Structure 1
Amino acid sequence: MSVSEPSPVNALIDALVKCSARRNYQVAHDPEQLSQTVTKSASIQDSFSDDADSIAQLRPEMDKIAAPVGLFIKNHSSYAIQIGELGRELITGEWDDEYYGELISQWHGYQQYAAIARTWLLSDFSDDLNLFLVGPSGSKDEREWQNFSQIIERNDLVCRKIVWLPGKNDHNWSKELEEFLERTFLAEPWKASGATSGINLDALSDSMSDFEAWREVLERPEFKSEPVEHDALVSALLEADSK
């Protein structure tokens, strides 16, 4: 019996669910709104039509890919996530036009799914729709994949798009996914800076003490009247700072 290869998409889903569970966020799996193939208005129109030719058909880009995996995650805000797989098999080195064209088509297909989903979603989920696209195992170290992921992420049509390029060794995916999630709405940047917050507050407290000492110097009668003896003022400020 052969052992199936680990799936990057499943690893990402698992990481999202576990991260949400640790924070007591609500998670709904595969809501139907995120896998619809026609817009809500087209679906309503189709329900009144007896003509099979008039029923909305899948766009070519969508016909070549599996429907995205969907998640709703809810805490103080509501997030809709679609997850799609790009490439499936890793092609190393420089891509030919055919392979590049296939990837473009897949990306546009998932983007079309996202556009359709927005017509079905309530506004709170629609406003925070995220499309996570996953490259094949080993794409992390491939220059072509790095460039392609940047092109996708710079594109702001329909919704925010973030690409995870997994490394070849699935034992490292857990760490890679931690870094990936820090680029999403699940990021907690304040934790990274928490270790230095006490030091910063101490430094600020010391500075406030200096300011108070300087204020007392400036309030002295000899420094409030004109003309001010600048050498004496500087000496007094330095003396206050050294205490």
Structure 2
Amino acid sequence: MEDRDARRSETDAVGVSFQTLTRMIGASGHADPDRLVAVAARLMPHADQAGVTSIRNDRPAVTVASTGEIPRAVDALQYRTGEGPCLDASLDDEAVISDDLAVERRWPAFAAACVDQFGVRSMLSVRLSLSQQDRAALNFYSPSTHVFTGQDVAEAVILAPFAALVVQQRLHEKDVSHYQEALISSRRIGSAVGILMAQHGVDADDAFGMLRTASQHLNRKLKDLAADVNYTGDLP
């Protein structure tokens, strides 16, 4: 009877997590990553803080969101040492748990330093399923040892699809923003080249060369110098 009640309680807890995340994202399908990790940390009773690690196209890992400075500091240590539960979960494993980093042997360069510098003793990381080029993990941190249970893993797995949705949306927004910035810069440079062609009677290649040379001599970005040419009608 007690086992049945315990299982029912665990099922109810998972259901509450599901409902909470559903309400958080809402009908629009949009949620902020910082809000996501705040909710995730609140739903995980044994977690002190939470964060999300992201790796794009084999570029350096970054912390997309966190509930405080400790997750970011712990993650930065993992990125410097090239090892740790967040990296393992994002790259290979479905879920990674360390019950006591003070005696952890899987990540010798990271584990002891994490305990000494930040006081984090236990970590739980679950992989987020993103696109083929993007990888991520939802991470939980605790100053206590042996705190994360099988129920915590179940909760984290329930949270993972929601976290993946939020992270993927944020990455898409960044891609769109970068594309728009690149398009604006390209148009600005093209317009500046046209102005220099008319001003100096040169062809497009020479006009772009003038702009590039000025950019190097003045130690200014090409797009910023092009904006000046568009405004003043010539190179400074």
Above 0.5 in TM-score?
Answer: no
Give the helix-richer structure, 1 or 2: 2
TM-score by length of 1: 0.27
TM-score by length of 2: 0.28
